[in-house]
Chains A and B, each alone.
Chain A
């Protein structure tokens, strides 16, 4: 039962760095690359790789706009991303609950 529950954990979100990105985006409607980088203390390369993975999974959407005539890239969770993150948390809670029983 425990193994089955564990297998339900979304492997894309489960990686620590990506989980952190998903968490921050879940509590903020939109965040820039710089904000995410400062918040999570990641390097540019590391953050880019994780965001690309989340984008490919359809969890994160990117929007490119101009702020003060300068290009500005921001990220937000897609509906699928939000749902998957909620599911991930539910599975974690389920694991905790099962282990308490």
Chain B
């Protein structure tokens, strides 16, 4: 018996503790479904078209709620199939990590909905801000999840930063596009990014193995 042995065992305990605190429910269907909802919403908003600022915020807040309910349903169904309580401790941790940034994004949305006359410059900042807050939420949740969630969150933050820079410049130059194009930005970011990430998860999903 030597120190290496004891240190190795302490290392095993630490690794197992970190691993056991991770959220493990299947993310692929949730992400893919959210992606499809995002793309559909982008197309609906663009083709209708929803042109008012408060209408835009209300439409995308509703889309967000639908996507959340859809994810909730999938998680609930998986827990039910596995005969497990839905609010396992990893699920609670992920939920708590998501809350602050999602709440901040929600406040921005409510501001947009409640204002009857929305400044176009403000409105074009809403999608980038949502991207950044959502990215922060995913990044926080990434501490209790695996499979690239932190990277996915970072991608959203980067998209938000790039688009806020772009739209601020266009605003200064007085060449901001019509509000209806913001639906395309939302559909392309929230929809396509989720869809691609969902496909990536499906393709790389570890297959269950039967342990002897």
Contact = CB atoms under 8 A, between A and B. Distances in A.
Interface string B1-33: 111001101101100110111001000000000
Nearest to B2: A99
Interface string B77-117: 00010111100111000000000000000000000000000
Nearest to B92: A29
A82 to B, nearest CB: 13
A32 B84 CA distance: 7
Chain A residues touching B, majority SS: helix
B6 A92 contact: yes
Contacts of A6: 1
A23 B11 CA distance: 12
Given A41-B211, A68-B80, A2 B16 contact: no
Contact of B85 (A24, A72, A93, A100): A72
A25 B97 CA distance: 21
B212 interface: yes
A28 B21 contact: yes
Contacts of A12: none
B118 to A, nearest CB: 45
Nearest to B14: A23
Contacts of B21: 27-28
A2 B80 CA distance: 50
Contact of B83 (A2, A19, A68): A68
Contacts of B212: 43
B85 A95 contact: no
Interface in B187-210: none
Interface of A: 2, 6, 19-20, 23-24, 26-30, 32, 34-35, 38-39, 41-43, 67-68, 70, 72, 89, 92-93, 95-96, 98-100
